[in-house]
Amino acid sequence: MTDEVCIRIKADIDIMSARHASRTMAAEMGFSNLEMTLIATAISELTRNILQYAGHGEISICKVQQGNRKGMKVVVMDEGPGIPDIETAMHDGYSTSKGLGLGLPGSKRLMDEFSIVSKVGIGTTITMYKWVSNKGSGGEEW
């Protein structure tokens, strides 16, 4: 597996491709099964949002290292309508569709770091990090 994977999100099958790519990279890096599931779930939520609200976008998944910590950086981007009120959108239960309103705040809880930038009429970029815990399986050096 390479150190970075970029996937265009334009159909449901692309969500599965993104999940698979994240799990493969996470396993290679030594993430635990639980951590791999958390990452894949956050990616599913945000890539579904791309299809629902923007129609298409892109996800970048890459290995990162910060001192002794190693982890995964996930950037989800679209050129959709943007989010007019990020603070409100980050509350559980808020949805502009008929969903449960758990995608953005749920993804934030699943990952270790989460930031969102959105401009109305321009699009949204979400950057998330998950760090390998000491309880991970160790993995190979990369």
**Share above pLDDT 90 across residues of the chain, in percent, rounded to a whole number:** 73
d(CA 32, CA 134): 9
Average pLDDT, whole number, for the chain? Answer: 87
pLDDT band, very low/low/confident/very high, at 2 (cuts 50, 70, 90): confident
pLDDT band, very low/low/confident/very high, at 57 (cuts 50, 70, 90): very high
Tokens describing residue 67:
């001192």
Tokens describing residue 90:
């980050």
d(CA 142, CA 121): 39
Angle at 41 between CA 64 and CA 87, to 5 degrees: 85
> Domain ranges in the chain?
4-131
CATH class of 4-131: alpha beta
pLDDT band, very low/low/confident/very high, at 89 (cuts 50, 70, 90): confident
Residue with tokens 């989800």: 76
d(CA 122, CA 38): 29
